[in-house]
Amino acid sequence: MNTQNHLRNLQYQAILERSKQPRNKGKTNPIHQHQTGNNPICGDSIELTIKFNQTNQIIEDIKFQGKGCALTIASADLMAETLSGKTREETLEIIEKFRQMLKGKIVLSDDLRKLSIFQGVSQFPIRIKCVLLSWHALKAALK
Protein backbone atom coordinates (compact mmCIF):
# COMPACT_ATOMS: atom_id res chain seq x y z
CA MET A 1 0.00 0.00 0.00
CA ASN A 2 1.50 3.36 -0.94
CA THR A 3 1.48 6.30 1.43
CA GLN A 4 -1.45 8.05 -0.18
CA ASN A 5 -3.66 4.97 -0.12
CA HIS A 6 -2.62 4.35 3.44
CA LEU A 7 -3.64 7.88 4.42
CA ARG A 8 -6.97 7.53 2.63
CA ASN A 9 -7.60 4.27 4.44
CA LEU A 10 -6.92 5.91 7.81
CA GLN A 11 -9.30 8.74 6.93
CA TYR A 12 -11.97 6.24 5.95
CA GLN A 13 -11.55 4.40 9.25
CA ALA A 14 -11.94 7.68 11.13
CA ILE A 15 -15.14 8.47 9.20
CA LEU A 16 -16.59 5.02 9.90
CA GLU A 17 -15.79 5.22 13.60
CA ARG A 18 -17.30 8.66 13.92
CA SER A 19 -20.47 7.59 12.10
CA LYS A 20 -20.95 4.64 14.45
CA GLN A 21 -20.61 6.75 17.58
CA PRO A 22 -21.72 10.30 16.87
CA ARG A 23 -21.46 12.66 19.84
CA ASN A 24 -23.93 15.31 18.77
CA LYS A 25 -27.05 13.40 17.92
CA GLY A 26 -30.42 14.64 19.23
CA LYS A 27 -32.01 18.06 19.60
CA THR A 28 -30.75 21.23 21.23
CA ASN A 29 -32.55 22.58 24.27
CA PRO A 30 -34.04 25.03 23.59
CA ILE A 31 -34.41 24.88 19.81
CA HIS A 32 -33.90 28.35 18.34
CA GLN A 33 -33.66 27.25 14.76
CA HIS A 34 -34.20 24.06 12.88
CA GLN A 35 -33.48 23.04 9.34
CA THR A 36 -33.87 19.85 7.36
CA GLY A 37 -31.64 18.60 4.58
CA ASN A 38 -32.23 15.82 2.05
CA ASN A 39 -29.96 14.12 -0.43
CA PRO A 40 -32.24 11.89 -2.56
CA ILE A 41 -29.31 10.48 -4.56
CA CYS A 42 -28.07 8.62 -1.50
CA GLY A 43 -31.19 8.63 0.70
CA ASP A 44 -29.66 10.85 3.37
CA SER A 45 -32.09 12.90 5.42
CA ILE A 46 -31.17 14.98 8.46
CA GLU A 47 -32.64 17.55 10.77
CA LEU A 48 -30.43 20.14 12.44
CA THR A 49 -31.37 22.05 15.56
CA ILE A 50 -29.43 25.07 16.75
CA LYS A 51 -29.20 26.97 20.01
CA PHE A 52 -27.85 30.52 19.95
CA ASN A 53 -26.49 32.64 22.79
CA GLN A 54 -28.42 35.57 24.27
CA THR A 55 -27.29 38.04 21.63
CA ASN A 56 -28.17 35.55 18.89
CA GLN A 57 -24.68 35.95 17.38
CA ILE A 58 -22.92 32.86 18.69
CA ILE A 59 -23.93 29.28 18.03
CA GLU A 60 -23.92 27.64 21.43
CA ASP A 61 -24.97 24.19 20.37
CA ILE A 62 -25.79 22.20 17.25
CA LYS A 63 -27.41 18.79 17.23
CA PHE A 64 -28.57 16.59 14.40
CA GLN A 65 -30.80 13.60 13.90
CA GLY A 66 -31.99 11.58 10.95
CA LYS A 67 -30.54 8.87 8.78
CA GLY A 68 -27.80 8.72 6.28
CA CYS A 69 -24.68 7.03 5.06
CA ALA A 70 -21.47 7.03 7.09
CA LEU A 71 -20.26 10.18 5.31
CA THR A 72 -23.42 12.14 6.11
CA ILE A 73 -23.50 11.15 9.78
CA ALA A 74 -19.78 11.61 10.41
CA SER A 75 -19.79 14.97 8.67
CA ALA A 76 -22.85 16.27 10.57
CA ASP A 77 -21.30 15.17 13.84
CA LEU A 78 -17.93 16.80 13.18
CA MET A 79 -19.64 19.93 11.92
CA ALA A 80 -21.61 20.23 15.17
CA GLU A 81 -18.46 19.76 17.19
CA THR A 82 -16.40 22.22 15.16
CA LEU A 83 -18.92 25.03 14.97
CA SER A 84 -20.40 25.05 18.46
CA GLY A 85 -19.08 28.20 20.13
CA LYS A 86 -18.42 30.02 16.85
CA THR A 87 -20.03 33.26 15.74
CA ARG A 88 -22.35 33.34 12.73
CA GLU A 89 -19.60 35.05 10.72
CA GLU A 90 -16.90 32.54 11.68
CA THR A 91 -19.30 29.72 10.89
CA LEU A 92 -19.97 30.95 7.37
CA GLU A 93 -16.22 31.32 6.79
CA ILE A 94 -15.52 27.78 7.96
CA ILE A 95 -18.35 26.38 5.82
CA GLU A 96 -16.76 28.05 2.80
CA LYS A 97 -13.30 26.71 3.64
CA PHE A 98 -14.71 23.22 4.08
CA ARG A 99 -16.35 23.44 0.64
CA GLN A 100 -13.09 24.61 -0.93
CA MET A 101 -11.23 21.71 0.66
CA LEU A 102 -13.77 19.22 -0.73
CA LYS A 103 -13.20 20.66 -4.18
CA GLY A 104 -9.51 20.01 -3.66
CA LYS A 105 -8.68 23.71 -3.81
CA ILE A 106 -7.24 24.30 -0.35
CA VAL A 107 -5.75 22.45 2.59
CA LEU A 108 -7.28 23.28 5.96
CA SER A 109 -5.30 25.04 8.66
CA ASP A 110 -4.35 23.26 11.88
CA ASP A 111 -7.34 24.48 13.88
CA LEU A 112 -9.64 22.73 11.38
CA ARG A 113 -7.46 19.68 10.90
CA LYS A 114 -10.09 17.28 12.22
CA LEU A 115 -12.20 18.03 9.15
CA SER A 116 -9.42 16.82 6.86
CA ILE A 117 -10.66 13.24 7.18
CA PHE A 118 -13.06 14.15 4.36
CA GLN A 119 -10.29 15.31 2.03
CA GLY A 120 -10.23 12.02 0.10
CA VAL A 121 -13.90 12.51 -0.83
CA SER A 122 -12.86 15.29 -3.24
CA GLN A 123 -12.15 12.49 -5.71
CA PHE A 124 -15.74 11.25 -5.58
CA PRO A 125 -17.93 14.20 -6.59
CA ILE A 126 -21.19 12.30 -6.05
CA ARG A 127 -20.29 11.65 -2.41
CA ILE A 128 -19.49 15.32 -1.78
CA LYS A 129 -23.26 15.88 -1.54
CA CYS A 130 -23.38 13.51 1.43
CA VAL A 131 -20.57 15.32 3.20
CA LEU A 132 -22.01 18.77 2.54
CA LEU A 133 -25.63 17.96 3.40
CA SER A 134 -25.53 19.21 7.00
CA TRP A 135 -23.23 22.11 6.10
CA HIS A 136 -25.67 23.37 3.47
CA ALA A 137 -28.54 22.98 5.94
CA LEU A 138 -26.66 25.02 8.53
CA LYS A 139 -25.87 27.73 6.01
CA ALA A 140 -29.56 27.91 5.08
CA ALA A 141 -30.50 28.11 8.76
CA LEU A 142 -28.21 31.09 9.30
CA LYS A 143 -29.79 33.14 6.54
List the one residue from 18, 35, 44, 48 that touches Zn ion (CB under 5 A).
44
Question: Among 11-19, 58-66, 72-80, 117-125, which window interacts with Zn ion (CB under 5 A)?
Answer: 72-80
Name residue 37's beta-bridge partners: 46
List the one residue from 130, 131, 132, 137 that touches Zn ion (CB under 5 A).
130
Task: Rule CB under 5 A: say whether 141 interacts with Zn ion.
Answer: no
DSSP single-letter state for residue 1? -
What one-character-per-residue DSSP string does 37-92 give? Answer: EEETTTTEEEEEEEEE-TTS-BEEEEEEEEE--HHHHHHHHHHHHHHTT-BHHHHH
Q: Is the Cβ of residue 44 or residue 61 nearer to Zn ion in the bound state?
A: 44
Residues making contact with Zn ion (CB under 5 A): 42, 44, 69, 72, 130
